[in-house]
Structure 1
């Protein structure tokens, strides 16, 4: 619906690329004033400039709760409020066998993927509770809802987001704050390639192609998912059509978590 969010102020963390960028673009298209928060200043500033009026960029490391608090306070003070918070920023752990993993990136992954989501939810909710309500979406992954090998720290962090989201939804409902999670799967974004830290460019390309082929073979819907598909789920959950929905985890994965695709007919 055009201009559905015309009177809304939205923050999207990790908003400079991938799913975050698509979410910023869609909210802006639907009339919202949007803050893209990201650690990548070049991409973030380019995005805000390309969208023009009602688009803003803030450089933020969500692994620092104080910086997240500053982001929310600055948004409220300069833009007049905060109605929707999308905690999307995340990083992947390294793609390696669990027995060979030294778990050295545990603190970094958890600080961004879990603490960042918790801080974003808390700071946004403190304002929303005083302002009469709001909507929060936390980005998890089918890697956090379905078991599987590889990137164990990433999977654990995304599973934590699921449980936190449901718990926050229960506690914040009394303030008319809705909290939901989205679990994307099989969505081409730069996140998968980032798990190849320490590999050559050729190795990263090979591993990414291999993983994506496995994803395609496990997906019932033949169409490839896009960041826009996830962004549309975000606007559904935070808009008027999702006004009675809270505490859910919505897979956006082409049916992957529902079950295996049927064999092709000969």
Structure 2
């Protein structure tokens, strides 16, 4: 590691597992003081203990934007500032095989976590950054917010909202050298779906998810699977001065999925016996 975030303070929401854990580990390895929040207090405390110095966990439910603000204020007051804010926490909502069966009962919760918390985290971080020389804000969206498709309609709508908000905030906050960008992962295995169902529903939805992933593999130009580390590497770039002239962008980490459909090429057969 090169220590690119030495002497920097970073706040990461949803940092106890999945993509968030990867972000926490990478930023910490690069020298940042990392304050992260999550509703999973056991996993969060374990991760902080594993990383040791310069890693701190606060149990946080981002659906309550006051708790998002507490993360920001704690970083400023206890760690000495805030240079990077990553609004990563997200939920998929309940999955249905058909939209006609969706009761939309989880709409307000999904929007609270995936959109409202992102807006609050961006605002609260920018209030400090605007008075202290700027900073970098990174919002996690999804290729589901870029590319239309069936299923998880509320989730897709929430992630599309994050993209539009990110661009608008980037324009508004550029005056204070606060950069706002989004990362859109695609087909990277985390536990987000498993957290949305239990029992028999979980088994059925995991089978459905696997079918979706198989289709995504077929549609993806790059054939290797994406990893949590791929997302963390992109976030590191956006967090550092290497991207000092980059704002308002949406960076897909998806193996080329949203670029377009795969071209199927048939290999020409060669007759070993010759003409």
Q: By the TM > 0.5 criterion, same fold?
A: yes
- Corresponding position of 2:103: 102
Q: Separation in 2 of the partners of 1:134 and 1:199? A: 45
Asked if 1:32 is matched to 2:32, the reply is yes
Report the 3-state secondary structure (helix = DSSP H, G, I; strand = E; otherwise coil) of the residue aligned with 1:92.
coil
Alpha carbons of 1:196 and 1:211: their partners in 2 closer, same or farther (altered >3 Å)? Answer: farther
Q: Separation in 1 of the partners of 2:263 and 2:217? A: 13
CA contact (8 A) 1:75 1:82 kept: yes
- Corresponding position of 1:90: 90
Deviations 1:33-62 (A, max 9, x none): 111211110111111111111111011111
**Structure 2: runs of 5 or more not aligned:** 268-275
Report the more deviating stretch, 187-196 or 79-88.
187-196
Asked if 1:42 is matched to 2:42, the reply is yes
CA contact (8 A) 1:14 1:90 kept: yes
**Structure 1: runs of 5 or more not aligned:** none
- Corresponding position of 2:228: 227
Cα drift, residue 264 of structure 1: 5.2
Alpha carbons of 1:195 and 1:263: their partners in 2 closer, same or farther (altered >3 Å)? Answer: farther
- TM-score for the superposition, normalised by structure 1: 0.97
1:1-266 correspondence runs (5 A): 2-96=2-96, 97-196=98-197, 199-263=200-264, 265-266=266-267
Q: Separation in 2 of the partners of 1:199 and 1:152? A: 22
Report the 3-state secondary structure (helix = DSSP H, G, I; strand = E; otherwise coil) of the residue aligned with 1:131.
coil
Q: Separation in 1 of the partners of 2:34 and 2:52? A: 11
CA contact (8 A) 1:94 1:197 kept: no
Cα drift, residue 66 of structure 1: 1.0
Deviations 1:84-108 (A, max 9, x none): 0000000002211111111000010
Deviations 1:166-194 (A, max 9, x none): 00000000011000001100111111333
Q: Separation in 2 of the partners of 1:136 and 1:50? A: 26
Q: Separation in 1 of the partners of 2:53 and 2:67? A: 25
- TM-score for the superposition, normalised by structure 2: 0.94
Report the 3-state secondary structure (helix = DSSP H, G, I; strand = E; otherwise coil) of the residue aligned with 2:144.
helix
Cα drift, residue 262 of structure 1: 2.4
Larger Rg, first or second structure (1 or 2): 2
Alpha carbons of 1:9 and 1:185: their partners in 2 closer, same or farther (altered >3 Å)? Answer: same
Q: Separation in 1 of the partners of 2:196 and 2:261? A: 25
- Computed over aligned residues only, the root mean square deviation of the Cα atoms, in angstroms, reads 1.3
Report the 3-state secondary structure (helix = DSSP H, G, I; strand = E; otherwise coil) of the residue aligned with 1:108.
helix
Length, aligned pairs only: 266
Q: Separation in 2 of the partners of 1:41 and 1:165? A: 29
Report the 3-state secondary structure (helix = DSSP H, G, I; strand = E; otherwise coil) of the residue aligned with 2:157.
helix
Q: Separation in 2 of the partners of 1:88 and 1:79? A: 20
Q: Separation in 1 of the partners of 2:212 and 2:21? A: 23
Cα drift, residue 207 of structure 1: 1.7
